[in-house]
Amino acid sequence: MGEVFSDATRIQRMLDFEASLASAEAQCGVIPASAAQAIASKCKAELIDFAELSKATALSVNPAIPLVKQLTALVAGDNAEEARFVHWGATSQDVNDTGLVLQIRQGLDILHADLDLLSRGLADLAMKYRSTPMAGRTLMQQALPTTFGVKVAGWLDAVTRHRARISEIRKRLQVVQFGGAVGTLASLGDKGLEVGAALARELELGIAAAPWHSHRDRVAEVATTLGLLVGTLGKIARDISLHMQTDIAEVFEPAGAGRGGSSTMPHKRNPVTAAVALAAATRVPGLVSTMLSAMVQEDERGLGNWHAEWETLPEIFRLTAGALHQMADMVPALEVDTARMRQNMNATHGLIFAEAVTMAIGKQIGKSAAHKLVEAASQQTTKSGKHLREVLQLDKSVMTHLSSADLDRLFQAESYLGAAEEIVDRVVAASRNEQPGGIALRSFHG
Amino acid sequence: MGEVFSDATRIQRMLDFEASLASAEAQCGVIPASAAQAIASKCKAELIDFAELSKATALSVNPAIPLVKQLTALVAGDNAEEARFVHWGATSQDVNDTGLVLQIRQGLDILHADLDLLSRGLADLAMKYRSTPMAGRTLMQQALPTTFGVKVAGWLDAVTRHRARISEIRKRLQVVQFGGAVGTLASLGDKGLEVGAALARELELGIAAAPWHSHRDRVAEVATTLGLLVGTLGKIARDISLHMQTDIAEVFEPAGAGRGGSSTMPHKRNPVTAAVALAAATRVPGLVSTMLSAMVQEDERGLGNWHAEWETLPEIFRLTAGALHQMADMVPALEVDTARMRQNMNATHGLIFAEAVTMAIGKQIGKSAAHKLVEAASQQTTKSGKHLREVLQLDKSVMTHLSSADLDRLFQAESYLGAAEEIVDRVVAASRNEQPGGIALRSFHG
Amino acid sequence: MGEVFSDATRIQRMLDFEASLASAEAQCGVIPASAAQAIASKCKAELIDFAELSKATALSVNPAIPLVKQLTALVAGDNAEEARFVHWGATSQDVNDTGLVLQIRQGLDILHADLDLLSRGLADLAMKYRSTPMAGRTLMQQALPTTFGVKVAGWLDAVTRHRARISEIRKRLQVVQFGGAVGTLASLGDKGLEVGAALARELELGIAAAPWHSHRDRVAEVATTLGLLVGTLGKIARDISLHMQTDIAEVFEPAGAGRGGSSTMPHKRNPVTAAVALAAATRVPGLVSTMLSAMVQEDERGLGNWHAEWETLPEIFRLTAGALHQMADMVPALEVDTARMRQNMNATHGLIFAEAVTMAIGKQIGKSAAHKLVEAASQQTTKSGKHLREVLQLDKSVMTHLSSADLDRLFQAESYLGAAEEIVDRVVAASRNEQPGGIALRSFHG
Amino acid sequence: MGEVFSDATRIQRMLDFEASLASAEAQCGVIPASAAQAIASKCKAELIDFAELSKATALSVNPAIPLVKQLTALVAGDNAEEARFVHWGATSQDVNDTGLVLQIRQGLDILHADLDLLSRGLADLAMKYRSTPMAGRTLMQQALPTTFGVKVAGWLDAVTRHRARISEIRKRLQVVQFGGAVGTLASLGDKGLEVGAALARELELGIAAAPWHSHRDRVAEVATTLGLLVGTLGKIARDISLHMQTDIAEVFEPAGAGRGGSSTMPHKRNPVTAAVALAAATRVPGLVSTMLSAMVQEDERGLGNWHAEWETLPEIFRLTAGALHQMADMVPALEVDTARMRQNMNATHGLIFAEAVTMAIGKQIGKSAAHKLVEAASQQTTKSGKHLREVLQLDKSVMTHLSSADLDRLFQAESYLGAAEEIVDRVVAASRNEQPGGIALRSFHG
């Protein structure tokens, strides 16, 4: 992703716009075909003097202006006549924004591919541990048994929704920006819309009903969509890091040479991917709020707020893509200690099975009465350190309703997993039904 | 919208969940039909002791727990047997979240209706001023002529996209939350998914592939979608407030008794709706970032982060709906001074027509050479205060390429509006093609 | 804190401004003394019609305007002559902002008192567990032994800094806002500054060098200072919730009737205060960003951005004060299981003492070589499950440098606590040196 | 500022820590003096292999670990014995954080110098236009006359407060981070605090009462303080850009070759500095919220949240310093059109003097009655387009209280400026009393 949002790629995408614009204008008879060819031949990032560009950008606060100047000089080097037609009828924001759209398209392709990979990795993991019991935890306390498969299915289901979201925003986003200085295309007389349509064809982008120079919901929506995705990556990372705590030790990121080591503690094995994903999840929300704040742009082009987008959106992409890529890479190598999962469920002397008992008794005396009964027994367990099963067995008011065999069953995780396995199946199936990003990609531009 | 997110409505929606749950469980043979009826008969917010509820919520940090306690007591008042089946098999977050989804659905209905209204208002406005010239402004400087219709079309086009977005998120959002304590539905044995499906039917909601207690992208997506919408409302407000400045005076919010007055300056007429929309656009981005930050929730239920959503999402709704409603209401009454628009274009002694001249000369000598020529003339205009037309007329290097009649035409806004009118037509047509919210509303749940 | 930022208190503080303004103007001979008395006699919130006020505020987007209208009517009810002098020479923002400053002063008093309380509670806790060993954890992995006292001292030291910060901002914040419509005090002729000084005396506030209607760093600084404080509260809560995990069980929030219970799991004991503090720490950063975004206000009074502050700052106060109060209240009742702390250090089969061993050997063969040696032994421990002490004892390259008695000592937490106790002493002493808020309070005025 | 936060400087500051640590430890007899010298001789950024460092950092998620490795190898190249003492007793975060503190100190020096420069520029500007009348504007509407000097004084007064704030935070911030792996300094036995004190002396930093690895209020406070400053820069920029609008044209950023030009409109002169400052003011609030969110760090070292600071704080510095530097540079060259200022006050046909008239009549018939009278006349002016003076002159109920000479005086801006000039004087004096940053700089470290 660093690649897609590098200076070199940025400039190349802007040059792609200029080449396509010239070609479109030649097709519409606005400029000579020879000029279009001459321009296209110079639209190569390697011909650009980046140092000069950077210097001039600082003065004009806009890279498009000095870029057009350099391109014009390059074309004029061969033929002054044809250089007249560089950037014909466009405004600097046309090239900035369309270049950005091209970068974003490429960025979304990469995200989509990594999401598909992560999706497959999670689906495999969910199926593998579909029936593996572990403690479910709410508010950071052990609550009831669940399976590791259900936990992973929760992650996967969110990933499936993110794949759908990214497909959906493409139809709004992947459009040309083309309006001229104030959005009327006045500089092209009556040829404006025709050129716009040809330009869209050239770039395989859609046509916007109107120029959107100061209407930034399109790019802000990319930011919010990535913000949602990175939130899920952070959630997965939070779960993994909690399970990887020395005192819990149920799930581990893979170890490796130089990976997650400590400068002073040779035994440390740190959750490196989780750190990256959590860092991204800490940083992206603030960046998204910047993109939303920046939407209040003045008239036909914003002052400062448009400029606030320039580094912010690429930063969001980099952080999201970095975290996603590491996560997709790491998930298949996740180490799971199923024995420890089972062992940890004993930490509460049977309290984790309290609800199972409550429900069983509740069928006979009502949930509320059962709740009180088991609450009392639980408190005794907490105080005495005796196992809940033991406490219950000595409690006549309980044993009126349950046999000893009932208790045996109730204190086994497997007998209180409800719909766990079906939920895993349902989520995995849904993840496989969602069209992969690669296919969805060009589907909307004929 | 205050109504939808009031305490009373919140509690009623939670009670709707409890009534529907009981009904669904009766249909599936999990609880007796008589219990379901008894429970439903008490699921009325007016029976709840709100003071007591508020006190107990502070202790448990969760309104569902004391609410279920009150409901159980109410049912038990008539029949202790049937009270056993209140909230059967559900967890507190099931009722919290499904109640929230019901509130959000109602909230989106209201937004959708106001968006449709705003859309119609803007379409009318755009058509009315489709050809009315005014100064287009970029970076807060006059640039080229545009039409007021094009400006309004820009607003309208963004509104059309927001209408589409809100339709899209409903299919992901309008689903039941139902998983029991850790998302396995263990307390319902093998009946969990069947009850879940019946519950969804009762509430006219979709079924989620898996419980989403700690996967918050669904609700966070509502926040980001509203964040995008409020950004557009802020943009419209910014434009209106700029045009309404005493020194520009092109567009005005309607005046009225007590509306926008000042305590000390009797002549002031303040942009009241713009203030409301700009305040919302200033506040919502930070609230959206909270919703995204809150996504990193622990295991099967988050600690603190889930709770961070509770007041934040309603606040986003209130701010967005308030600004939208005022805007939809105000737009049809917007006052437009078309004469002043034309007069303001003279502020630069003809410089606003500089590009038109550049393009005209550029056709003959190339854009770059023309740019230099007109740049020099513009600088002379700025220095001398003479009108650009006058400066050009005296410049032989210019008059070689243009006749005096050419100049007459070039210095008239109407002759340099490009595709303005077609853009308006295109945007208005697209806005009318987008399905109104009222119809889209129930479309995805059978 | 709800009290301080209630509607009733808000209005009373605004009326305090009006009464003090009248008194100051009477002292300066601007209005008759009898008018000042008449006005003061009506400056009571209980005389105000709040329903009417709320309705009128919606129209004018400013509560001051209808409030002044009501106050004028009240005074006029007794004496129409004297009613002429209500709000004399002031602008609505003068009363809004000064009223807000008075609320904030009261709010900071409350925060200061609770911070002092929290400080004492933490100092006691730190001293009590000054030498109690527990696992220090970095990146959510056990690292080295520390003491619970050191951990608490870290919390305490941050609290001491927050107490200093709140003292510091008061001198900038606790000043009168008084400038008239555009900040020139023109309506008071040559008496403006004299009245301003008298007004400040009346309200026990400082004098601002210039009106600050659109310069909002004063109020934004309150927001950022509370943002820093709530970050620390979140950090304390995060630590407590991690230690309170079922699988770690070292530290517990106190239990109590109805406190932290679950609707379905009778054994659950949830970290309620932590939830409140973490929720606040999730919400406040976004609200602070709103206050900072809102600083970009136009000319002599901002449009929308000023209005964005109105609910945001009180919300920050409420969240911060709520979390702080609960924390100050809970800390003295925190339950600590020192035996479990010691037991948890055994989780890594001695790896937690790896650095101690490394340093001991390092003294003889260099840290880098020692690091490699112990790293190898640690890996053997991880693989085999054997205790690190055992592995080392069998390793000749290690036992060349260490005796068995050395190993005994090295594998005891107490012998590797470094400066732990002195750090606790230093921090506690510093906390006691910081002036309590109650004293600092009025120190800078008069 | 790019310099201060470049990779090279970052690494050099970390090496400064290592050199000073070795020196401090030699002074305390912990390591041999020869080792300290050997280490110091290699603590030069130019000896470091940055490509290798960057690769290794990606794996360990921490630049300190591979840096120490390289430094150790460099020292060992000369003398393996002495290489043993590199980084002795420290943890990676000790070097990361202290290095950061050194960078921040340098960064604040630069900000302070530019703030002093800006302060002088604004003071000169305020004095120059101390009595120059212009329209004061509230809610983007002309309100009353003020002077340009008062407006600038408002900017200046905020800058004075920012200078004080930056001085204040230095005493908390400019301290060493030194605690070893979990903050106990265990690896230095009983020498930890002594070494820490010597290290602080070496680096001219203060001593922290306790290590602050996971207590981030110190660095977060830098972020919030810069956030407040950038808010003021945005406010100044907003004002300038509003005054620079083509239709208002009162104040201009200086023009220059390549500065603020447009690619298609030769006459454009864009507010370049305002764009930079407004972009910064749009971006920094979200970054500040990230720093606050990141404060909730786990135990003795945070996972992901600490890492979230790494790029965020430097970004805040770069944006703030960039905007500040441009502003300080531009302010002395600001062009002011005082004639246009006076002319714009006529835009409302005298309504801007309405309050002056109200106050004059109010002295006789009460403010409320006067308000109504003038309100009616103002409405007539608005409707008829007649000048307010003319309307009033024909109104007998007004002319009972005022003579024609009174009206002459009342409709002159100079006679309604109140305390404007004294306010300017007061603010300029206060700005000159605030100690310049250069002097304050080292004041607190002995």
pLDDT of residue C268: 65
Whose tokens are 């750090």? That residue is C423
pLDDT of residue D445: 41
Find chain C residues with C-beta within 8 A of A141's C-beta. Answer: 244-246, 268-271
Q: How confident is the model at residue B441 (pLDDT cuts 50, 70, 90)?
A: very low
Structural tokens at position C392: 């080392």
Structural tokens at position B88: 């059967």
pLDDT of residue C385: 87
What is the mean predicted confidence (pLDDT) over B71-88? 94
Find chain D residues with C-beta within 8 A of C284's C-beta. Answer: 292
**What residue type is B360 in one-letter code?**
A
- Active-site position among C301, C318, C340, C409: C301
pLDDT of residue C261: 57
pLDDT of residue A439: 45
**To probe the interface with D, which of C243, C296, C357 has the most D CB atoms within 10 Å?**
C296
Give the ranges where D331-387 is alpha helix by DSSP (H): 338-344, 354-365, 367-384
Domain B91-177+212-342: assigned CATH number: 1.20.200.10
Find chain A residues with C-beta within 8 A of D274's C-beta. Answer: 303-304
Q: Which residue of D has its CA nearest to A90?
A: D264
Question: How does pLDDT run across A43-90, given as a tens digit for each residue?
Answer: 999 999 999 999 988 877 789 999 999 999 999 999 988 998 999 999
Q: How confident is the model at residue C393 (pLDDT cuts 50, 70, 90)?
A: very high
Q: Is the pLDDT of residue C283 over 80?
A: yes
CA B41 to chain CA mean position, Å: 37
ipTM of the complex: 0.94
Is A260's CB within 8 Å of D293's CB?
A: no
- Tell me if C39 sits within 8 A of C85, measured CB to CB: yes
Question: How does pLDDT run across B142-184, given as a tens digit for each residue?
Answer: 999 999 999 999 999 999 999 999 999 999 999 999 999 999 9
Write out chain D's pLDDT in tens, 446 residues. 889 999 999 999 999 999 999 999 999 999 999 999 999 999 999 999 999 999 988 877 789 999 999 999 999 999 988 998 999 999 999 999 999 999 999 999 999 999 999 999 999 999 999 999 999 999 999 999 999 999 999 999 999 999 999 999 999 999 999 999 999 999 899 999 999 999 999 999 999 999 999 999 999 999 999 999 999 999 999 999 999 999 999 999 997 655 555 555 555 678 999 999 999 999 999 999 999 999 999 999 999 999 999 999 999 999 999 999 999 999 999 999 999 999 999 998 999 998 889 888 988 887 778 888 998 998 899 889 899 999 999 999 899 999 999 999 999 999 999 999 999 999 999 999 988 874 444 434 43
Long-range contacts formed by B382-390: CB under 8 A, 24+ apart? B382/B351, B382/D267, B385/B349, B386/B349, B387/B349, B387/B350, B388/B348, B388/B349, B388/B350, B388/B351, B388/B353, B388/B354, B388/B357, B388/D267, B389/B350, B389/B353
Residue C179 main-chain phi, psi, to 5 deg: -145, -10
Task: Select the more confidently predicted residue: D363 or A155.
Answer: A155
Please state the domain extents for chain D.
1-90+190-196, 91-177+212-342, 351-410
Find chain A residues with C-beta within 8 A of D68's C-beta. Answer: 263
CATH class of the region C351-410: mainly alpha
Is C144's CB within 8 Å of D430's CB?
A: no
Q: How many residue contacts between A and B have a Cβ separation below 8 Å?
A: 362
DSSP letters along C117-170, please? HHHHHHHHHHHHTTT-EEEEEETTEEEEEEEHHHHHHHHHHHHHHHHHHHHHHH
Element (H, E) at B135: strand B133-138
**Average pLDDT of the residues of chain A:** 93
pLDDT of residue A364: 85
pLDDT of residue C269: 74
- DSSP strands (E only) in A171-259: 251-252
Q: Which residue of A has its CA nearest to D295?
A: A282
Q: State how far residue D173 is from chain B, nearest Cα, in angstroms.
A: 27
Q: How many residue contacts between C and D have a Cβ separation below 8 Å?
A: 363
Is A303's CB within 8 Å of D278's CB?
A: yes
Is B147's CB within 8 Å of A420's CB?
A: no
* Architecture field, domain D1-90+190-196: Orthogonal Bundle (1.10)
What is the mean predicted confidence (pLDDT) over C143-162? 98
Which member of C64, C282, C310 has the closest CB to residue B293?
C282
**To probe the interface with D, which of B146, B251, B265 has the most D CB atoms within 10 Å?**
B265
Find chain B residues with C-beta within 8 A of D267's C-beta. Answer: 348, 351-352, 354, 375, 378, 381-382, 388
Q: State how far residue B361 is from chain C, nearest Cα, in angstroms.
A: 41
Residues 6+ apart with CB under 8 A from A109: A437, A438, A441
Q: State how far residue D255 is from chain C, nearest Cα, in angstroms.
A: 23
Whose tokens are 């502070």? That residue is B58
Q: Give the C-alpha separation, B151 to B209, whole Å.
A: 44
Q: Give the C-alpha separation, C172 to A337, whole Å.
A: 57
Q: State how far residue A153 is from chain C, nearest Cα, in angstroms.
A: 23
pLDDT of residue A385: 87
Is C137's CB within 8 Å of A246's CB?
A: yes
Residues of B acting as catalytic residues: 262, 301
What is the mean predicted confidence (pLDDT) over C142-165? 97
Which member of C144, C356, C368 has the closest CB to residue D84?
C368
- For chain A, the chains sharing at least 3 beta-carbon pairs closer than 8 angstroms are B, C, D
Three-state secondary structure readout of C322-381: HHHHHHHHHHHHCEECHHHHHHHHHHHCCHHHHHHHHHHHHHHHCHHHHHHHHHHHHHHH
Q: How confident is the model at residue C60 (pLDDT cuts 50, 70, 90)?
A: confident
Q: Which residue of D has its CA nearest to B375?
A: D266
